[in-house]
């Protein structure tokens, strides 16, 4: 058997692997493989309904908070507990934001600001309730695409994360912790009678 040559000292040779070392390495690989299989099994038990609820809450909060920056007269923040109930109106800075920073083609800034503020309040509520979830997610995915392509193209990592969650909800639905699920069960029950 030829011994490998040491690159830094050609006259020195590397020791040959002993059967005990080979057995120890094989045992370590076997343990690692069993650990990975066990972890995969545990992770496959994560509740899809809980994941869907988390995705709905996180995405709804993201868009809702963005919408809140575009209106005055209404503040609802479930996390901080801040509540100012009133009739929402477009904030003074919203139209300026669409005119100076966002500059969307084809839409006047005042129209774009109203559409965005409305969508960022209505669609997140639907998403959070799990009502019309797939359509709400589609609307928010459209907004995400516009933001990515026309407003902040450098924020692809953030927008990609939003898109992944929205696509997941569109493909798999809101889960059992949703009004969509409740209504589907009710309609399925009435369809049988």
Domain presence at residue 53? yes
Is the pLDDT confidence value at 11 over 60?
A: no
Domain presence at residue 193? no
Instruction: Using pLDDT thresholds of 50, 70 and 90, give the confidence band for residue 26.
Output: confident
Find how far residue 182's CA is from the centre of its chain: 24
Domain presence at residue 5? no
Cα 129-151-64 angle, rounded to 5 deg:
20
Domain presence at residue 106? yes
Please tell me the predicted confidence (pLDDT) of residue 78: 84
Domain presence at residue 127? yes
Pairing of β 75-77 and β 71-72: unpaired
Q: What is the mean pLDDT of residues 178-188?
A: 93
pTM score, whole prediction: 0.80
Beta strands in 56-191 (DSSP E): 71-72, 75-77, 82-84, 89-90
* Percentage of the chain modeled with pLDDT above 90: 78
Q: What is the mean pLDDT of residues 160-180?
A: 97
Domain presence at residue 148? yes
Q: Per residue in 54-75, pLDDT tens?
A: 999 999 999 999 999 999 999 9
Domain presence at residue 25? no
* Percentage of the chain modeled with pLDDT above 70: 87
Please tell me the predicted confidence (pLDDT) of residue 2: 52
Is the pLDDT confidence value at 123 over 60?
A: yes
Please tell me the predicted confidence (pLDDT) of residue 25: 82
Domain presence at residue 23? no
Domain range enclosing 121:
48-183
Number of domains comprising the chain:
1
């Amino acid at each position: 058997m030829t011994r490998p040559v040491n690159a830094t000292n050609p006259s020195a040779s590397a020791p040959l692997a002993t059967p005990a070392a080979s057995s120890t390495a094989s045992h370590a690989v076997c343990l690692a493989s069993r650990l990975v299989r066990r972890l995969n099994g545990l992770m496959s038990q994560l509740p899809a309904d809980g994941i869907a609820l988390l995705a709905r809450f996180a995405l709804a909060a993201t868009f809702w908070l963005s919408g809140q920056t575009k209106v005055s007269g209404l503040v609802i923040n479930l996390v901080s507990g801040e509540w100012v109930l009133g009739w929402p109106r477009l904030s003074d800075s919203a139209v300026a934001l669409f005119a100076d920073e966002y500059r969307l083609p084809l839409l006047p800034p005042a129209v774009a600001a109203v559409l965005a503020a409305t969508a960022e309040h209505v669609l997140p509520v639907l998403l959070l309730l799990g009502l019309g979830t797939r359509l709400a997610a589609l609307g928010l995915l459209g907004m995400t695409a516009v933001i990515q392509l026309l407003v902040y193209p450098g924020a692809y990592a953030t927008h990609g994360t939003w898109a992944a969650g929205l696509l997941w909800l569109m493909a798999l639905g809101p889960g059992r912790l949703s009004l969509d699920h409740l209504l589907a069960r009710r309609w399925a029950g009435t369809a049988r009678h």
